[in-house]
Structure 1
């Protein structure tokens, strides 16, 4: 089973979507989002810091290894890495910095204040086979975001 959640800008669109789902024999609900981390229609909070952390970390990492390559900065015990060419060092520095910066930025993003959920939501539990049809029904009523998540798995 899957839980499909749609977010709307207009209360009337959400009511129309609920009525459409009821006509199709489904049981929609208006979910209360107690924790924005578990709202499938919201942007993941850690995404806020991943992009900027990765970019800043990549630039800083590339700058540090470039400075080491042109002998502006010296860090002991990194001599084996310095045998690479400047382009390889800058690429390695960017990749390493992006990984570290993205990790730190992702953690920083989860620590920030989350905005309150915007707009009314409509949720419905359906089987895996019905997900596509239900998503299309919700989108026809001008849903801003439609997403789904697995609630249980059937074993046969």
Structure 2
């Protein structure tokens, strides 16, 4: 079984979604989530830190190693890696930059508070086979976020 949670900006849209699900025999609810960390519809701040940290780090790493390959800068201990081609160096710099930047961004994101989600939520428990259909139905009522979590596994 999975629990699908949708967040809406407009309470009328949430009510319409609940009525639509009730017509077909589902039992939707308005979940009270005391801690936003456990809200599946809330995006954790470390995800944003990982994304931006990885992108910035990747670009800076690629630029740094490309500049080294073009003899614009020189670091004595890193000189042996310059025997690789420029494409390999840019790829290596991008990869290392993503790893370092993503780590720093994730740590930075963890220091931030999880934002309190605005707007009503609608939650419904469905079988694994029905998840895609229910997510599509919730999105047709203008859900801003639709996420699902596994609540129990079958035998």
Same fold by TM (over 0.5)? yes
Within 5 A, what are the aligned runs for 1:75-90?
Answer: 75-76=76-77, 78-90=78-90
Distance 1:86-1:32 versus aligned 2 partners, 3 A rule: same
Distance (whole Å) between structure 1 residues aligned to residue 59 and residue 11 of structure 2: 45
Question: Is the CA contact (8 Å cut-off) linking 1:64 and 1:73 kept in structure 2?
Answer: no
With normalisation by structure 1, the TM-score equals: 0.82
- For residues 101 and 153 of structure 1, the distance between their equivalents in structure 2, rounded to whole angstroms, comes to 36
Q: Note the residue ranges of structure 2 that are not aligned, 5 or more in a row.
A: none
Shift of residue 100 of structure 1? 1.3
3-state SS of 1:80 partner: helix
Question: How many residues are aligned here?
Answer: 154
Residues 56, 140 of structure 1: alpha-carbon distance in 2 compared, 3 angstrom cutoff: closer
Give deviations 1:67-120, integer Å, cap 9, x for gaps. 5441633233x3431222344323321221122111221222222123210110
Tell me, what secondary structure is at the counterpart of 2:3? strand
Q: Which residue of 1 aligns with 2:73?
A: 72
1:32, distance to aligned residue in structure 2 (A): 1.9
Structure number with higher helix proportion: 2
CA shift at 1:124, angstroms?
1.0
Runs (5+) with no aligned partner, structure 1 = none
Q: CA RMSD in A?
A: 2.2
Structure 1: distance between partners of 2:42 and 2:151: 17
**What TM-score do you get using the length of structure 2 for normalisation?**
0.83
